[in-house]
Structure 1
Amino acid sequence: MGAGGTGGSVLGIPGTGGVTGVLSQHCAICGDRATGKHYGAASCDGCKGFFRRSVRKNHLYTCRFSRNCVVDKDKRNQCRYCRLRKCFKAGMKKEAVQNERDRISCRRPSYEEQTNNGSGLSVVSLLQAEMLSRQVGAALEV
């Protein structure tokens, strides 16, 4: 262990190359094992994903009880209102959540889109152009 308390881990997780003890090894929201500092708070992957989805989809949750539900590892899915409120209280920032990448532009076009992509070039018109090109080429050779 080096000077300043470095122990080669983040959140007490060995082998992650950070500083031991700087952050809690427990999720600040539900108390499960934290995997890092996500969106501004030490959190587990479950709470990280819950917060990201809630922010991206602009969810407005309501508490069916008295707005002081227990949010722990076993009961974290019982009240989404109280869980999200606890995320914000733990220091998670909605501004830290990036917009979802545009997956539609990354997908391959369908067969219909390839054959009729709005430019008027269908398979039939391309075949006709090819046949005309061959006829013109043959006429020039004579």
Structure 2
Amino acid sequence: MSSSTQPIPVVGCGKIPAMGKSISQHLRPEYEVTHFILSYEAAEAELPHLLAGRNPQSQTPNEIGTNNYSRPPRAVVFGRGYDPHQVEELKKKFASVAKEPVAWVRGNPGDLPVGAVGPDYAQLIVADMKKVLNKWRDGGEKDEEILVY
């Protein structure tokens, strides 16, 4: 990525703030998590604003995202704690709000680690996320099916 290229703005959705913070940091420099959502209910309330290019009107702000709302998100990435049906429902409700195609990306809940999560877990997740996001970006950034990492 050249220094003149801006990172792609992303909304992250996860259930564990510490994991969200680590993943957000590892997504840089190609992707910028501008906002991080911690529940399905918050996603329902905040995604329509974010995808339309407005501030999220969040009732529960956190310090995980950069809060840089100057550009609307081009991807919404869900952690493995979100049920695939929840992601599908949110995409059905809000995909049409965005002015440009948005990648809807979710983890496979079947790939949750067994036992304690190791120190490299966030890096491994981000590597999978980046593969999916880069393929979407390189494939012309079309808004189609939900992508799974």
Q: Same fold (TM over 0.5)?
A: no
Larger relative strand fraction: 2
TM-score (norm 1): 0.24
Which structure would you say has the larger RCO, counting Cα contacts within 8 Å and 6 or more residues apart? Answer: 2
**If the length of structure 2 is used for normalisation, what is the TM-score?**
0.23
- Structure with the greater alpha carbon radius of gyration: 1
